[in-house]
Structure 1
Amino acid sequence: MRHFDLSPLYRSTVGFDRMFSVLDQMTSGESNAPSYPPYNIERTGENAYRITMAVAGFSDKDISIESRENTLTIKAEKSEEQNSSNEFLYRGIAARAFERRFQLADHVEVKGASLENGLLHIDLLRQIPEAMKPRQIPIGKAANEATAIETAAA
């Protein structure tokens, strides 16, 4: 049984806090936690992220990516005709179907996906609405001080 300590990742990422909690729950205590295909989650900018999955043997026609609410779902399945066309003496490249789900944080959007050299790259961007962004509040004079200054000037 493997246990991954994801606590260092909590400090260095923004936007995936909930996802790391879900991943931590999945890997702790469950021996049947999905481990295929392997993937990386990296931070590429202040509010930009990239999920990279190793999907050797799959083409872009075999993979579907769906984003619904706060869930990103990646599914892949080889068609039967591709699997049965050759007789394999040894099959070391896994071409089994998979479905991987990621819980995305609020305001995280999928910006695009690309498949190159057997790696599926999914780019994500966290866009905080203008109303939720922090803003500076100017410090002004109190109403009593402004009245006192006006009466003294008169």
Structure 2
Amino acid sequence: MRSFDFAPLYRASIGFDQIADLLDRVSAHEGGQSSYPPYNIEKTGEDGYRISIAAAGFSEADLEIEVKEKTLNVSAHKPKAEDNKTYLHRGIATRAFERQFHLADHVRAVGASYEDGMLHIDLIREVPEALKPRRIQIQSKSPLQVEASPA
């Protein structure tokens, strides 16, 4: 496991302590998470993202998408069926899976679609107006100074 020293970050910035938690969580899961099923994460616009998961062999009813506490959970469970087929080679995996994606602040899932064995989940980052940059006007007198009234 890797160890990171965040002391320089803490000396020069405020409110970035969540980064340390995120890096610890990622490094803890580095070797433990399966590569099944394969997936892509793409940037579709300035504030848009799309996660595409290869889910061949599953129907829409077998797939479940849930967002809980800034975590996007995608899972698939195929009901056991009586399969009397004899396979000479079985290369299409249809085993159950669960995949988690940690979402940044103000990122939310806006839709999902399933087409040609690919599950697409669209996400968007919506920064609230209160957090967007704004200009502060400079005045010649400070509004906090109390003007003395003439006697």
TM-score, normalised to structure 2's length? Answer: 0.72
Larger RCO (CA within 8 A; separation ≥ 6): 1
Q: Deviations over 1:84-114 (max 9, x none)?
A: 2533222110101000011100111100000
Tell me the matched-pair count. Answer: 123
Normalized per residue, which structure has more helix?
1
**How high is the sequence identity, in percent, across the aligned residues?**
51
Counterpart residue number, 2:128: 129
Change (3 A) 1:114 1:24: farther
State the AA in 1 paired with 2:68.
Answer: R
The answer for unaligned runs of 5 or more in structure 1 is 1-17, 145-154
1:24, distance to aligned residue in structure 2 (A): 5.6
Alignment partners' CA distance in 2, 1:61 and 1:48 = 26
Counterpart residue number, 1:26: 29
Q: Which stretches of structure 1, 4 residues or more, deviate above 6 A after TM superposition? A: none
- 2:100 counterpart of 1:101: yes
TM-score, normalised to structure 1's length? Answer: 0.71
State the AA in 2 paired with 1:50.
Answer: R
Structural RMSD (CA): 2.4
Matches within 5 A, 1:2-151: 21=23, 22-23=25-26, 26-27=29-30, 30=31, 32-81=32-81, 84=83, 86-140=85-139, 142-143=140-141
State the AA in 2 paired with 1:143.
Answer: K
1:23, distance to aligned residue in structure 2 (A): 4.6
State the AA in 2 paired with 1:26.
Answer: H
1:138, distance to aligned residue in structure 2 (A): 2.7
Q: Deviations over 1:42-68 (max 9, x none)?
A: 111111100011111111111000011
